[in-house]
Amino acid sequence: MADNLVIVESPGKVKSIGKFLGKGYKVEASVGHVRDLPKSQIGVDIENNFEPKYITIRGKGDVISKLKKEAKAAKKVYLATDPDREGEAISWHLANLLNIDDGQKCRVSFNEITQNAVKSAIKQPRKIDMDLVDAQQARRVLDRIVGYKISPLLWKKVKKGLSAGRVQSVATKMICDREEEIDNFVSQEYWTIISRLAKPKVSPNFEARFYGTENERLELSNEEQVNSILKEIEKSQYIVKKVKEQEKKRAAAAPFITSTMQQEASRKLGFTTKRTMMVAQQLYEGVEIKGHGSVGLITYMRTDSTRISAEAQSEAREYISKKYGQAYIPQTPKVYKNKSASQDAHEAIRPTYIDMAPDDIKDSLSAEQYKLYKLIWSRFIASQMSSAVYDTVSADISAGRYIFKANGSKVKFPGFMVLYIEGRDTEGSSDEERDEEENNNLPELVQGDVLELKKNTPKQHFTQPPARYTEATLVRSLEERGIGRPSTYAPTITTILSRGYVIKEKKFLLPTELGKIVNDIMKKHFVDIVDAEFTAQMENELDAVEDGEKPWKDVMKDFYSSFAGVLKQAEESIGDVEVPEEISDVICDKCGRNMVVKHGRFGKFLACPGFPECRNTKAIVEEAGVLCPLCQGKVLYKKTKKGRKYIGCERNPECSFMSWDMPSNETCSVCGSFMLKKSSGRKNELKCSNEKCPSNSEDTAKKTK
């Protein structure tokens, strides 16, 4: 008798799932979507109730022929594509191509690729969920109409190759708005006074921050005001007026959802959203682990739910008990609340096998896989551990009529912090104060204690503009506003970068001149498309389709009834727009024109404005500010095709100098060459850039002061 056929999306899953199902099952991959809207036309019959015109994707003919042949010979066909809207739609398209009856229970889905999950799913096939399929169709058709109606207008009025889209246009606007905030920001002066104090015959010293008077907080706005206060308290006694001791608890962060995983991987690993999702996909689909074969190491990585299974929770608690002891297990299992907008179809992102600790399987993973897996594994285990407990002390200290406040804390019980602490995006004033509290080791203070002043330190500050978005903070803002869903964050950022609307400098996202021009057009003529609230409401409409509360074509009618009029008006009112080019001082060595800055998929480069007559291009070089230890040429910052930064001599290939380590401000005391900051090992280690220097032959890394 013929085998049962199981069709998955990715070839990466074939081995893992085939191993679990064993004899009697054949596993094949559709390699993603098999049908889609055509690229050459809009592919939506707007007049005929928004009927989509699906075609077989070019290049998929052989895959489809093979699947049809296998399906015809199979006893039963199971469609095991990903457990989300997109996966459901792929199963629906496959069912159509393979002539599987609508009422047949052929759909199986699992949140993790483990033996239990896969076998359990095969035993309980269901019908294709048409509400999920319709939600995907609605998003696809909606995005196609927006993209294929507005993009040609931008091509015609601005330049070829541009595009517009619901989520990408909102993301671009957010980045442009933030840049405008920064440009318009007016910095305000403010001052702080920090008093370094000591309790007589007790060490160590500690710090107290100026607050104001007993009844009022005073903002220090200029040096004259600060000097007046310092003069007034010059001969005052510092007396402890009030002491408050408290026990505070700090809870662990919830297990990862897609957005928080992308944010934390950006903060801690320096991964882009695209890179994070690519590596997570590998961990989900299966990695060859020595002694175990192909293993799916994490649950499905596109989710906005923090829910975890009772079984996984129980395994985590058992692991924590064995590894850390009973005190590290909370009395009741931790449950984390989802946002109201989240879809609870999946679990949070967690390891599938708790006992596969990252360091135990490190040899089987690539460097990227190990780093991300360790992050996911540690975050999940920590999320099920007891809260950290702090003893905190806050003291009001008088100096004449003024009050200074001292805060300190000491970890009483580390709890989850023995394993994992969530990263931070930016250092704001609240972060500074928290750091100050955690590092301020207060002596035992009692009301009435007279303290000794060691030093008063006045310090001038200026308010800072809001920080530019990073990929991590943009994802967080999109999520907070309800814009996009787990599957859309990474593609959105990739699109606005590839279109040249936004560039990345270091880790920050900046709008280009082109991005600002397109954003201005969208703001003026397509108000709803770039409106965050409207876009979030559209996401809610799509969720309503998924929940079976609203027919998808009704959503399309509601949207298009106003969009059609807006589009017509924009076509009539938008004039031709010229995008100014950034002119450099580099002269084209072929025709003598000043070269202009262009944006490509690998970043900025120089091009001759005489194109197509002159096609000369050059890389933009960034000097490292040091001289080559081999030939005294300039040392340049360079990047590999994968974006990894290194330094090399400008005279390459004649000069062979290159290094993955970055230059420091120090010079070698032995040979005078510049010193390198070692990329591995302790942070403060330096080595000489000249490999022939005696200091390197002694293999003694020098430490910075």
Strand partners, 687: 676
Q: Residue 294 is encoded by which pair of tokens?
A: 């192909």
Q: Does 4-128 match 258-383 in CATH topology?
A: no
Helix 471-480 and helix 258-269, axial crossing angle in degrees, nearest 10: 160
Bridging pattern class, strands 77-79 and 4-8: parallel
Write the DSSP symbol of residue 298. Answer: B
Q: What is the pLDDT of residues 460-489, one digit of tens each?
A: 999 999 999 999 999 999 999 999 888 899
Whether omega before 11 lies within 30 degrees of 0, making that bond cis, reads: no
The H or E element that residue 73 is part of is: helix 61-73
Q: What is the pLDDT of residues 516-539, one digit of tens each?
A: 999 999 999 999 999 999 999 999
**Residue 653: what pLDDT?**
82
The H or E element that residue 667 is part of is: strand 662-667
Q: Residue 32 is encoded by which pair of tokens?
A: 């993603």
Q: Which CATH number fits domain 258-383: 3.40.50.720, 2.60.260.20, 3.30.70.890, 1.10.290.10?
A: 1.10.290.10
**Residue 601: what pLDDT?**
59
**What would the CATH number be for the domain defined by 137-184+468-573?**
1.10.460.10
Task: Indicate the SS3 state at residue 318.
Answer: helix
The C-alpha atoms of residue 17 and residue 157 are separated, in whole angstroms, by 51
| Residue bearing tokens 């305000």 | 188
Bridging pattern class, strands 508-511 and 293-295: unpaired
- Which positions of the chain have pLDDT values less than 50? 1, 341-342, 427-430, 681, 700-705
**Residue 428: what pLDDT?**
47
Q: How many CB atoms lie within 10 A of CB 585?
A: 6
Q: Residue 219 is encoded by which pair of tokens?
A: 């903002």
| Residue bearing tokens 């077989």 | 56
Count of residues making up the chain:
705
Angstrom distances, CA of residue 102 to CA of 63, 88, 105, 182: 22, 13, 8, 55
Q: How many CB atoms lie within 10 A of CB 247?
A: 10
**Residue 619: what pLDDT?**
80
| Residue bearing tokens 């996401």 | 539
The C-alpha atoms of residue 73 and residue 75 are separated, in whole angstroms, by 7
Burial of 446 (0-12, 13-18, 19+ CB in 10 A): exposed
- The type of residue at 103 is G
Q: Which CATH number fits domain 4-128: 3.40.50.2300, 3.40.50.280, 3.40.50.140, 1.10.287.1080?
A: 3.40.50.140
**Residue 703: what pLDDT?**
43
Residue from 328, 342, 353 nearest 114 by CA: 353
Residue from 166, 130, 170 nearest 145 by CA: 166
Q: Which residues are catalytic?
A: 300
Bridging pattern class, strands 206-213 and 189-198: antiparallel
Q: Write down the domain spans for the chain.
A: 4-128, 137-184+468-573, 189-251+388-462, 258-383, 582-619, 622-703
Angstrom distances, CA of residue 417 to CA of 155, 327, 378, 382, 389: 53, 13, 10, 8, 10
> Which CATH architecture is the domain 189-251+388-462 placed in?
Distorted Sandwich (2.70)
The H or E element that residue 64 is part of is: helix 61-73
The C-alpha atoms of residue 381 and residue 316 are separated, in whole angstroms, by 6
- The type of residue at 559 is F
The C-alpha atoms of residue 381 and residue 320 are separated, in whole angstroms, by 8
